[in-house]
Amino acid sequence: MITRGHFIGEIVDAFTGISERVETRNRLGITDMSVFTEAFVGELLNAVLGTDLQSLNDERPNEPGLDLGDRGGRYGIQVTATASSQKVRHTLDALTAEQAKAYERIVVFCLGKKQTSYSVEGPFKHGVKFDSEKDIWDFTEIARMVLALPLDKLQAVHQVVRRNTVQLLVELEVPDEKGRYPTNGYDKWEARPPLKVGDGKAFLKFYEKEFGELEDETKVDVVKALPTLAKKLRRLPRVTREFLAMLIERREHREPRRNSRDAAIHAELNKVLRECGGKVKEELDLLIYEGLVDVDGEDPHESGAPEIFMDLTDCIPLREGLVDFIKSRGLTVRQVIGGADLSAF
């Protein structure tokens, strides 16, 4: 059974990690905060305080003084990386008469560590009441509030923290001297495999032995079609190439009902939908876009269930001999199609 101590421990650890990351940025002079950071603070405080804090910058960009406003009128919040006396004073001076009237309490929330003492004294504009000892918060204040929460609210806070902490820590990463971040979106992209394609001689030798001699013009077409097919395959995500390989492996060995295609490699769409647990439509859409497959479902009453045709290439000899050539070389469809490796051809 998960205990209060477990929830509190994870929450406090997350607060510490965030605060330390912000402090590192502050020492380097990086004090700007992202919209995601402000949104996290709003969601966190709503869970802790039972408020309805919303971003004021959504409705009015660069709202002076405040970042978050409670629709219930209890709190107006400024979110900042660092809270010096000067920064706090600037926030209070920037408040509008409308804001001063709208919120019972103005709070400056410091993502880093707040100072031990402040020299911020009133009177303040528009009659704002502000106590620097009570109205400047950091994660230490929030942790104290969390300790007093009943279990259901504690769990709600824990969910907010767990859901957002990883992304928030990434947002707060510090770039190196070349401006590179430890975690970046570029690393999340799947690397495309290198172009691997043969000169066509091995395939042509095999084809003419098994199927008959080709005209010189057709041989040229085969040689041109190989790199075209290889480029299409390497543009696909790996999972989509593997999906195509499975379509070929599980192809129908009888003639298609729609027999208007030459050297057709085909599969039953309904059977694929039953057998594949993945996102069939999304994979087929990618393959159709590259011109590697086509789905024919016309005249279902006349021709039966829809069929997937793996055209792969416009070059009929290449399409006709591809699977048999792969077998003759001791390779698999998964290696050639799934691996986008036509080097044996």
Enumerate the β-bridge partners of residue 295: 308
Residue 261: pLDDT band (50, 70, 90) is: low
342 - beta bridge partners?
Answer: 197
Give the integer Cα–Cα distance in Å for 60 and 79.
16
User: Between 51 and 99, where is the model more confident?
Assistant: 51
Task: Break the chain into its structural domains and give their ranges.
Answer: 4-188, 196-342
Burial of 235: CB neighbours in 10 Å, binned 0-12, 13-18, 19+ = middle
- Can you tell me the mean pLDDT for 52-76? 79
Half-sphere exposure of 209 toward its Cβ, with a 13 Å CA cutoff? Answer: 9
Residue 209, pLDDT score: 94
CB 196 within 8 A of CB 46: no
Q: What is the 3 state secondary structure string of 250-302?
A: CCCCCCCCCCCCCCCCEEEHHHHHHHCCCCHHHHHHHHHHCCCCEEECCCHHH
Residue 21 · residue 144 · CB < 8 Å = no
Which residues lie across from 196 on neighbouring strands?
A: 341
For the chain, the distance separating the N- and C-terminal CA atoms, rounded to the nearest angstrom, is: 60
Segment 197-256, tens digit of pLDDT: 999 999 999 999 999 999 999 999 999 999 999 999 999 999 999 999 999 999 988 887
CA dist., res. 226 & res. 60, Å (int): 57
Question: Based on the number of CB atoms within 10 Å of its own CB, is 188 exposed (0-12), middle (13-18) or buried (19 or more)?
Answer: exposed
- DSSP conformation letters of 100-166: HHH-SEEEEEESSPPPS-----S--GGG----TTTSEE-HHHHHHHHHTS-HHHHHHHHHHHHHHHH
Please report the pLDDT score of residue 298 as a whole number: 67
Answer whether 14's CB lies under 8 Å from 165's CB. Answer: yes
Read off the tokens for 304. 């039966």
Residue 299, sorted as left (phi over 0), alpha (psi -120 to 50) or beta, turns out to be: left
Full-model pTM: 0.61
| 127 against 54, higher pLDDT | 54
Instruction: Round the average pLDDT of the chain to a whole number and report it.
Output: 88
- Give buried/exposed letters for 98-137 (b at 16+ CB in 10 A, else e): ebbebbebbbbbbbbbbeeebebeeebeeebebebeebbb
303 confidence band (pLDDT: 50, 70, 90): low
